[in-house]
Amino acid sequence: MLVNSLFSMITTRYLSDCLYEDKKEKIIPAFIGSSLIMMALGTVIYGVFLHFSGISFTMQMLCICLLNELIITMNSMNILSAIKDYKSILYTFAFSAVIAVCSGIIGLFVFKFDIMSMILVILIIAYGIMTVSYFNIIVQCFPKGKGSILEFLIWFDKYPQLAIVSVCLSFGLVIHQIVVWHGDLGRQLEGLFYSSSAYDISVLLAYASVIITQISFVTSMEVKFNRSYKEYFKQLNCGGKFSELKKAENEMKNTLINELSYIITKQFFVTLLFVILVSGFLHTMSIGLNTSNLSIFRTLCLAFAFYIIGNCGILLLLYFADNKGAMICSVAFAVVTLVASVALSVNDRKFSGYSFLIGSLVFLLCTLGRLFSYLDNIEYRLLSSQPIVHVEKKGFMQGIVDKYKEVI
């Protein structure tokens, strides 16, 4: 996830620009180039970790194989999400899950394979199916590739803030878990591998409480808000009258506020449902969650509610190309979560989940504050704050692309 996050927003922005400029032939080379770079980077970093991890060579190779499949799959999903082909993602994922479960049952109960190795094998089978299927869909959607597979790297020079935003969001999501693994609630599984079953299960189940908001943002906010957003910029860019421009601006702001309020309200009730009813149901199940652990689950439900609404704010800031504001908010989220995790690690059991809660609350306040501040001064932000003369700067990545574009 961390390796993918370094490239995900950059490649998505590059894809969007290519679609806008009707340069679809550049999309497959960008996908191949970004996948190969991430696979090389991930293999080196994870390979060093695995070498000193204390696990067998066979398990190391299985982990490396799974890592590379995950990189390609997540990169494919970034592209398929950008072209809004959610049906293909769903069907392929469902089919892969069915094959994985069937393979696991046969391997464990018929051939009596080792459970840990078998789990990795069935994951590799599932993600292998997804890797091939998603790549096939991408090839069918876009024309044969043309141009260098490194050209997308230039977008790192153009939009460096996007890479920082993506990395910080991923870092903030996982750092509190890593700190807990090495605290009172964690335990060493083998070598450098650690876990905290109670906390990890709580994180997994609490994350399920925000799925409704992720769906709502795509189906409600992006559909309704996008319509008024396009109308406003149409008036702005195509010489609309001032009165029409102000009308479109007010319509866009009202739509944004109404839809965001609707999403916040919906998430509030879903979180309340999870805290009261779902936690009560989990208490009756034998999945390792006692009364103390359920309090962690409730804390994390609230934390994820803050996080997902803040994440919606980040996406809206990126709608208006406020990359700097999005970067400031995401860095604040990552730093506060890290500092709170370390500070509260001395008393893991009492304050478990609070570090992510504090970080998410700061994240929410930063993003909404920045968003409404931007909207209050939208004419200045869009017009007066821009440079009078555009100067194309040649950055580090541009130099690499110019050097190797004829070869790769």
Highest mean pLDDT among 61-70, 97-106, 134-143, 154-163: 61-70
Average pLDDT for the chain: 82
pLDDT in tens, 74-117: 888 877 776 666 777 788 888 888 888 888 778 777 777 777 77
Geometric angle at alpha carbon 221, from 217 and 224, rounded to 5°: 150
Neighbour count for residue 353 (Cβ, 10 Å): 25
Geometric angle at alpha carbon 129, from 104 and 97, rounded to 5°: 45
pLDDT the model gives residue 391: 64
Q: Measured between alpha carbons, how far is 256 from 250 in angstroms, rounded to an integer?
A: 10
pLDDT band at 389 (very low <50, low <70, confident <90, very high): low
pTM score, whole prediction:
0.84
Judged against a pLDDT cut of 80, whether residue 159 lies above it is answered with yes
pLDDT the model gives residue 282: 64
pLDDT band at 64 (very low <50, low <70, confident <90, very high): very high
Judged against a pLDDT cut of 60, whether residue 286 lies above it is answered with no
pLDDT band at 404 (very low <50, low <70, confident <90, very high): low
pLDDT the model gives residue 380: 72
pLDDT the model gives residue 319: 82
pLDDT band at 307 (very low <50, low <70, confident <90, very high): very high
Q: Measured between alpha carbons, how far is 181 from 173 in angstroms, rounded to an integer?
A: 14
- Of 102-111, 178-187, 198-207, 385-394, least confident by mean pLDDT is 385-394
* 169 neighbors 330 (Cβ within 8 angstroms): yes
Measure Cα distances from 334 to 159, 210, 260 in Å.
20, 19, 23
Judged against a pLDDT cut of 80, whether residue 407 lies above it is answered with no
pLDDT the model gives residue 192: 84
| Domain limits, the chain | 1-158+390-408, 164-376
More confident residue, 124 or 104: 124
pLDDT in tens, 308-367: 999 988 988 888 888 888 999 999 999 999 998 888 877 666 677 888 899 999 999 999
* 341 neighbors 176 (Cβ within 8 angstroms): yes
Task: Classify 54 in phi/psi space as left (phi over 0), alpha (psi -120 to 50) or beta.
Answer: left
Percentage with pLDDT > 90 across the chain: 14
DSSP string for residues in 174-200: HHHHHHHHTSTT-EEEETTEEE-HHHH
Which residue intervals of 238-344 are DSSP H helices? 242-273, 279-283, 291-319, 323-344
